[in-house]
Amino acid sequence: MSQKAEIDQARKWIVEAKAITVLTGAGISADSGVPTFRGDGGLWRKYRAEDLATPEAFADNPKLVWEWYDWRRRQLAGKRPNPGHIALTEMERRSSGFTLITQNVDGLHDLAGSRLPLKLHGDIWNLRCTDCSARSVNRETPLKRLPPLCDCGALLRPDIVWFGESLPQDVLEEAWSRACAADLFLVVGTSALVQPAASLPLLARERGARLVEINQQKTPLTAHADIALFGTAGDLLPALVTL
Ligand code: NAD
Ligand code: ZN
């Protein structure tokens, strides 16, 4: 099938679907100028994300970890949702059963107008107290105080799932159930290497959902997809929702 025919087929499935579940990864934000995990621009000083986004690094040097998050927050502050994010809000508006699950922490789905995306890995704009667990939204860039402190006096941390930590159980359970309930599962811009997110599309597929993938490259999911569209999310998602 030509790509045009595949887009037409996927668009038809989207219109017919009773329950659409979408999983997005860093690739959907690439068109907004946000570096992907394995792409360029992910390095800060001499550190890799794997060295800083861990409970051990935070226990060892919270100020250093916060300086890195402050740098990432400043990078994100000027970024806007792209046509890919916007197309998903339009898909949500038109569908009766729609769930958006994201691995991204950048908040761009919220800015685009998505309703309550399930954030598997947290949100860089949310802070959480390491002692009393109080949560707060904080969009200040740069942060006035590094590391930031809670009203109770304890250290605040980014409300993000770090390497070696478990995903929030309630969010994961909801994502799992929305994957099982889907008759169309759309996976966009994820390398599908990070578990358990990567198993959601396969779970949906096993339960009978059609699987459509959008990515610039092949991933471990491509062989399982009913349709794999190669290109950017910013081009392909709008093509899937136009009439
Ligand atoms: P990843 O960086 O591992 O993979 C990105 C994928 O997107 C790749 O498969 C790549 O081929 C594809 N891609 C790149 N540009 C694209 C485009 N314009 N359109 C479509 N596809 C494109 O990202 P991941 O799978 O999300 O896993 C990385 C982890 O790092 C996640 O846990 C995530 O939380 C975190 N992360 C988040 C952000 C963010 O919030 N924007 C950015 C970087 C990393
Ligand atoms: Zn506190």
At residue 53, the 3 state secondary structure works out as: coil
Between the CA of 190 and the centroid of ligand 1 the distance, in Å, is 5
Residues 58 and 138 in one domain: yes
Last residue of a domain, one of 112, 143, 160: 160
Q: What per-residue confidence (pLDDT) applies to 46?
A: 76
Dihedrals φ, ψ of 14, to 5°? -65, -40
Share of the chain above pLDDT 90, in %: 90
Residue 42 lies in a domain: no
Residues 189 and 99 in one domain: yes
pLDDT band at 44 (very low <50, low <70, confident <90, very high): confident
DSSP string across 198-228: THHHHHHHHTT-EEEEEESS--TTGGG-SEE
Residue 16 lies in a domain: yes
Q: What per-residue confidence (pLDDT) applies to 39?
A: 61
Instruction: Write the residue with the smallest CA distance to atom 22 of ligand 1.
Output: 27
Residues 230 and 111 in one domain: yes
To test the pocket of ligand 1, the residue of 23, 32, 37, 80 to mutate (highest count of ligand atoms within 8 Å of its CB) is 37
Residues 106 and 222 in one domain: yes
Q: What per-residue confidence (pLDDT) applies to 173?
A: 98
Share of the chain above pLDDT 70, in %: 97
At residue 22, the 3 state secondary structure works out as: strand
Q: Give the largest CA-CA distance in the chain.
A: 61
Residues 173 and 73 in one domain: no
- Compute the chain's Rg from CA coordinates: 18
Residues within 6 Å of ligand 1 by CB: 25-27, 29-31, 34, 36-38, 103-106, 121, 189-191, 193-194, 214-217, 219, 232-233
CB-based burial, 203-241: b 16+ in 10 Å, e otherwise? bbbeeebbbbbbbeeebebeebbbbbbeebbbebbbbbb
Pick the atom of ligand 1 nearest to 191's CA: 9
Residue with tokens 């009439």: 243
Instruction: Write the residue with the smallest CA distance to atom 3 of ligand 1.
Output: 191
Q: What per-residue confidence (pLDDT) applies to 36?
A: 85
Which ligand is the nearest neighbour of the Cα of 124? Answer: 1
Between the CA of 149 and the centroid of ligand 2 the distance, in Å, is 8
Q: What per-residue confidence (pLDDT) applies to 236?
A: 98
How many CB atoms lie under 10 A from the CB of residue 103? 23
Would you call 109 a catalytic residue per the annotation? no
Dihedrals φ, ψ of 103, to 5°? -95, -5
Q: Is pLDDT above 90 for 1?
A: no
The string of pLDDT tens digits covering residues 50-107 is: 889 999 999 999 999 999 999 999 999 999 999 999 999 999 999 989 999 999 999 9
Pick the atom of ligand 1 nearest to 160's CA: 34
The string of pLDDT tens digits covering residues 180-217 is: 999 999 999 999 988 899 999 999 999 999 999 999 99
Residues 71 and 143 in one domain: yes
Task: Give the range of the structural domain holding residue 216, as residue numbers without chain letter.
Answer: 3-34+81-121+167-241
Residue 219 lies in a domain: yes
Between the CA of 29 and the centroid of ligand 1 the distance, in Å, is 8
Between the CA of 181 and the centroid of ligand 1 the distance, in Å, is 25
Q: What per-residue confidence (pLDDT) applies to 43?
A: 64
Domain count for the chain: 2
Residue 203 lies in a domain: yes
Q: Is pLDDT above 70 for 42?
A: no
For residue 95, what is the domain's CATH number?
Answer: 3.40.50.1220
Residue 44 lies in a domain: no
* Mean pLDDT on 118-143: 97
Residue 64 lies in a domain: yes
Q: What per-residue confidence (pLDDT) applies to 49?
A: 86
Q: Catalogue the long-range contacts made by 33-36 (C-beta closer than 8 Å, 24 or more residues apart).
A: 33/79, 34/75, 34/76, 34/79, 34/106, 34/108, 35/75, 36/189
Last residue of a domain, one of 112, 141, 160: 160
Q: Is pLDDT above 60 for 14?
A: yes
Q: What per-residue confidence (pLDDT) applies to 195?
A: 87
Residues 69 and 113 in one domain: no
Residue 40 lies in a domain: no
Residues 197 and 213 in one domain: yes
Residue 97 host element (H or E):
none
Residues 187 and 235 in one domain: yes
